Amino acid sequence: MAKTGWKDAGEVRALTFDCYGTLIDWDGGIRQAMEDEGITELLPISVDEFLERREAKEVEWEKLPYRHYREILALSMQDTLRELEVKLDDQTAFRFAESIKDWPPFEDTVSALRRLGSYWPLSIISNVERSSLRQTVDRMGIPFAEMITAEDVRAYKPAAPHFEETKRRLGNRAEGQLHVAGSLYHDIRVAHDMGVPCVWVNRKGEKLPSEIKPKAVVKNLTELCEFLDV
């Protein structure tokens, strides 16, 4: 068993990860997909502002009765463009959404997961549906013990069902769960509030709210490996 920089918190027995934005380069992937489908050139505002508006639309959709994430991704794109008086046809919108399975991992992801996986079972807790996640995981070539998706629990993070189902599946390893994620909104805040120890992968240099206290804040997964001494 590896030593750990996580002092006085007991033994780490399982690592769980958010996928898109933590392991997979969400920002780079969505921007490239927009360029590939000719969406970027349609925008009357900056890409950064557009993506902020689209994310807000996505959150609205995720609070409604469950739909597959690819559908929400397409619909939130169309909704945001419609507010800007730009029409995006269904075929293009859903082709854009389908591309999520091809979005690339961060440069540090695969090597770090191989190091971590030699010490602990790895699992994913994701807001996508099973088919997209399976294709993403197959491309990374990393074995995961469990993959808990929004499709499984019929809800979207930051709702609690993902973490409740994860605890059930981990069984006696749940007491040693360490959750690793890049999103304060979707993962870190809810994990903290539910008493799940977590590490925030702060790739964008954001400010940590004072009321959230993860076990560590790291810039990338290489730093996570250093924190866990592997």
pLDDT digits (tens, 9 = 90+) for 41-54: 999 999 999 999 99
| pLDDT tens-digit readout, 164-174 | 999 999 999 99
Q: Does 65 share its domain with 148? A: no
- Compute the average pLDDT of residues 14-22: 97
In the structure, what pLDDT confidence band is assigned to residue 204 with cuts at 50, 70 and 90? very high
Based on the structure, what is the number of domains in the chain? 2
Q: CB neighbours (10 Å) of residue 86?
A: 14
pTM given for the model: 0.93
Pick the range with the lowest mean pLDDT from 9-13, 88-92, 181-185: 9-13
Same domain, 115 and 214: yes
- Give the confidence band of 1 by pLDDT, cuts at 50, 70, 90: very low
- What's the pLDDT at 40? 97
Three-state DSSP class for residue 24: strand
Tell me the angle at which helices 90-98 and 69-83 cross, rounded to the nearest 10 degrees: 130
User: Which residue range(s) make up the domain with 170?
Assistant: 14-25+105-227
Helix ranges (H only) for the chain are: 26-36, 47-62, 69-83, 90-98, 109-117, 130-140, 150-153, 161-170, 189-193, 221-227
**4 belongs to a structural domain:** no
Asked whether residue 1 is domain-assigned, the answer is no
Torsions phi, psi of 141, nearest 5? 75, 30
Residue at a domain's end among 102, 124, 156: 102
Which token pair is 56? 């807000």
β-pairing, 177-181 with 14-17? Answer: parallel
Q: Which of 1-15, 58-72, 88-102, 112-126 has the least mean pLDDT?
A: 1-15
Return d(Cα 9, Cα 93) in angstroms, integer.
45
Residue 165, judged by CB atoms within 10 A of its CB (0-12, 13-18, 19+), counts as middle
Identify any residues that bridge with 149 across adjacent strands, giving them in sequence order: 126
The token pair that represents 194 in the structure block: 């539910």
Confidence category of residue 182, pLDDT binned at 50, 70, 90: very high
- Do residues 18 and 39 share a domain? no
Decide if 200 is inside a domain: yes
Quick one: DSSP state of residue 188?
Answer: I
